[in-house]
Homo-oligomer: A and B are copies of this chain.
Amino acid sequence: MLTAEASGVCVICPTPFTPDGALDERSAAAMTEAYVATGATGLTILGIMGEAPKLDAEEAMRLVRIVLKHAGGLPVIVGVSAAGYAPMRALAQRSMEAGAAGVMIAPPTGLRGDDAALSWMQGAAEAVAPAPWVIQDYPQATGINLPVRAIAALAADPRCMMLKAEDWPGLDKISALVGLMKSGEMRRIAIYGGNGGLFLPEETLRGADGMMTGYAFPEMLVRVRALLAAGERDAAMDLFEAHLPLIRTEHQPGLGLAVRKYVLMRRGILAHATVRNPGPKLSDATRAEVDALLARLARRDPVALKLAAE
């Protein structure tokens, strides 16, 4: 079960598809096992990067079951964000019954004002009860502002366990939340960085308990966090820097998911790089650029590529 003391790396899983657009169940199983092997401490599925709105209800549950079966006991968080509470409740209930550890909720676009955002989220938490839940604060994608005081108010719910912190810029927000928790003005929840790992070292040093992101080399996230924990900042930065060009390329809005799936295919983690229609397709030029980045990464960080070579 998800707890507010969680830490580590929680991998955001893409949803694998076959070239004809069907759910690729085989890749889903293999991907799950590959992610477990990276040293991750949890998995998240059906997030914004998981193409969740492109799945129908039955497909979503099929993916939930496959990932749970292969997750080797790691907690699995299911994104249930939707424009209304009833579909969220339905997916949350079925996912928890299937064995999920908790659910993740982002506010929908179109809410007006901080109070509307807070009260929408409070209603959503009630709708998915009794599931433990994660706040996803991702204004770049949702257009919704959740100020520090709203997050603190949401954290007062004892079933709120975690914040996926993806405001951008967002480092001072993490510091503010950590400060409130230290001074006892806010109930302690786990804070996980996101944004594709783009600020991994800074988020960690600001006090984030973990990372929840889908960067195609989760091992790097695990290793950089370990190096930072050991006080090896330079080694951590060396490793981070080697991956940063690819992180940057995966972090592009829209296209980034197609890049990530292509890298996961190159790594042998997915059988196909298919993004379900409608979605971006990689041009030959982009594929060549990613290939060049991977070739360079293989020289800069041979460890990261071991898995692919096996």
- Which A positions have Cβ atoms within 8 angstroms of B? 51, 53-59, 82-87, 89-90, 109-110, 112-115, 119-120, 123, 139, 145, 147, 168-169, 171-172, 175, 198-199, 202, 205-206, 234, 237, 240-242, 244-245, 248, 252-256, 276-278, 283, 285-286, 289, 296
Contacts and interface: CB of A to CB of B under 8 A. Distances in A.
User: Number of copies of this chain in the oligomer?
Assistant: 4
Nearest to A53: B83
Residue from A89, A199, A245 whose CB has the most chain B CB atoms within 10 Å: A245
A301 to B, nearest CB: 12
A286 B244 contact: no
19 contacts: A54-B83, A54-B84, A56-B89, A57-B57, A58-B90, A109-B110, A112-B139, A112-B145, A113-B147, A123-B277, A123-B278, A169-B252, A169-B253, A169-B256, A171-B286, A172-B283, A172-B286, A175-B283, A241-B241
Contact of A55 (B86, B175, B198, B205): B86
B57 A87 contact: yes
Contacts of A277: 85, 123
A51 B87 CA distance: 12
Contacts of A252: 168-169
